[in-house]
A and B are shown apart, each in its own frame.
Chain A
């Protein structure tokens, strides 16, 4: 597991008011979801004709557009690395994405999320195949509803594949948090603000590697471990949606992960193509 060092922020969180919340299994969250239920997730790939690759994601009320350009020549040239490509991410929230209106200038938070996304995506991309080049990922949050960094990573991974950039695996991201002393998956805006803790995780499901692990607030060691497992389960669900989105663009519907029982020689007329490749 290639874990990134945990980034701890010293944000002061309000402790939960009532600690005697009912322990019934049917406990529902503010928006009526079960504790391990994701928000409705919709991803579309290839939405921007002028970008090399693009994706649009709706995760709950989050609406995010992502465009990928490259591999292309790095400008300014002195930033290029002689042995590998440089992945550049730009996270930006539209002024109208939150209420009240937000200044369009890049903030500290935007910079942090851009950096965090870059390091979450870098392990998945074969950067060494494009020396001196740059791969640019632009993300525009049109509507924000908590957990935008996870949603952005999900969209960026799909857009990178859409751009035809060689990847080791897709990166799926999902947050786990704690509210009223209970662990919950995929926090919405309300839960993010009222909760005791928030832990975004990015994960490469095929390789079983964690590429991003951050935490806000407080969690005990056991809780953190449980939360990580919950997040990984969430990431796997996201991963399925990402794959569907990529397949949908090409109208592929027969999934096939295993090779045929016997290898069949290539047919003469057409290439034997019905199987589906995966990422």
Chain B
């Protein structure tokens, strides 16, 4: 991919003065490094990420939550209930197995097990909506520069959209048609994430969808 001494950016590695890509993706050459925008990746958890997960197990004092990472995430009672701990709490009343939740990663412990919290605005159990899954590397594209893409979609459709950095997106809107519209748009964005001029084309596509649904 590149020869010479240069800093290696994302998704690249160096071997004997040669820089190679570790993922299939698009190369970005900038003056101080070479990086690759991957076309498909797994999710690499980072502290502060908002993610969408599903409760898969309940242990003593903690929920185990599938968030699409190599190891499942945990969430303790103090991270889920904003009150002093009392023994009469029934954990399944707060979150049961199979419940979906929007949560934030507050810590990665030494085994890289993400620790979650649902205390905060916009976080908590999910009651209704659609969940769409896309490749986590394409989330930045869905959000757009300073949120241009996602704000445009919200403005055009009137749906509430919660984006999990792990590639799961929660959509809840005024009616089913609007929600399905967003699902179509997101799938289109995922397919065309590596092309340019996407925000404008998406806007046009949305307008077409609106026209046809009328």
Query: What residues make up the interface of A, taking CB atoms closer than 8 Å to B?
Result: 52-53, 70-73, 85, 126, 130-133, 161-169, 206-207, 246-247, 250, 252, 256-257, 259-260, 263-266, 269-273, 275-279
Contact = CB atoms under 8 A, between A and B. Distances in A.
Contacts of A167: 22-23
Contacts of B11: 166, 277
Contact of B195 (A161, A165, A273): A273
Nearest first, the 7 A-B pairs at minimum CB distance are A270-B196, A166-B22, A133-B70, A164-B41, A164-B40, A277-B25, A71-B70
A271 B39 CA distance: 14
B99 interface: no
Interface of B: 1-2, 11, 13, 15, 20-31, 34, 36-42, 70-72, 111-112, 135, 137, 145, 194-198
Contacts of B37: 271, 273, 277
B20 to A, nearest CB: 6
B20 A168 contact: yes
Contacts of A266: 28, 30
20 contacts: A70-B70, A132-B70, A133-B71, A161-B23, A164-B40, A164-B41, A164-B135, A166-B11, A168-B15, A206-B20, A207-B20, A257-B1, A263-B31, A270-B196, A270-B198, A271-B28, A273-B26, A276-B26, A276-B27, A279-B23
A260 B70 contact: no
Given A133-B70, A270-B197, A277-B36, A165 B24 contact: no
Nearest to B26: A273
Contacts of B15: 168, 207
B135 A260 contact: no
Contacts of A260: 29
Given A71-B70, A166-B11, A278-B21, 17 more contacts: A85-B70, A126-B22, A162-B24, A164-B23, A164-B41, A166-B23, A265-B31, A271-B196, A273-B28, A273-B194, A273-B196, A277-B1, A277-B23, A277-B26, A277-B37, A279-B23, A279-B24
A252 B13 CA distance: 22
Contacts of B40: 53, 162-164
B21 A165 contact: no
B70 A259 contact: no
Nearest to A167: B22
Contacts of B23: 161, 164, 166-167, 277, 279
B213 to A, nearest CB: 27
* Residue from A71, A164, A167, A277 having most chain B Cβ neighbours under 10 A: A277
Contacts of A161: 23-24
A241 to B, nearest CB: 15
A168 B28 contact: no
Nearest to A259: B29
Given A166-B11, A259-B2, A263-B29, A132 B71 contact: yes
Nearest to A158: B24
A265 B41 CA distance: 26
Contacts of B31: 263, 265
Nearest to B25: A277
Contacts of B1: 257, 277-278
A166 B40 CA distance: 10
Nearest to A278: B21
Contacts of A85: 70
A247 B40 CA distance: 12
Given A270-B198, A272-B28, A259 B34 contact: yes
A219 B137 CA distance: 49
A273 B192 CA distance: 12
Contacts of B197: 269-270
A168 B22 contact: yes
Given A132-B71, A260-B29, A263-B31, A279 B42 contact: no
A105 B54 CA distance: 36
A45 B195 CA distance: 20
Contact of B39 (A73, A130, A166, A250): A250
A47 B177 CA distance: 29
Nearest to A45: B24
Contacts of B145: 269
Contacts of A207: 15, 20
Nearest to A131: B112
Contacts of A269: 145, 196-197
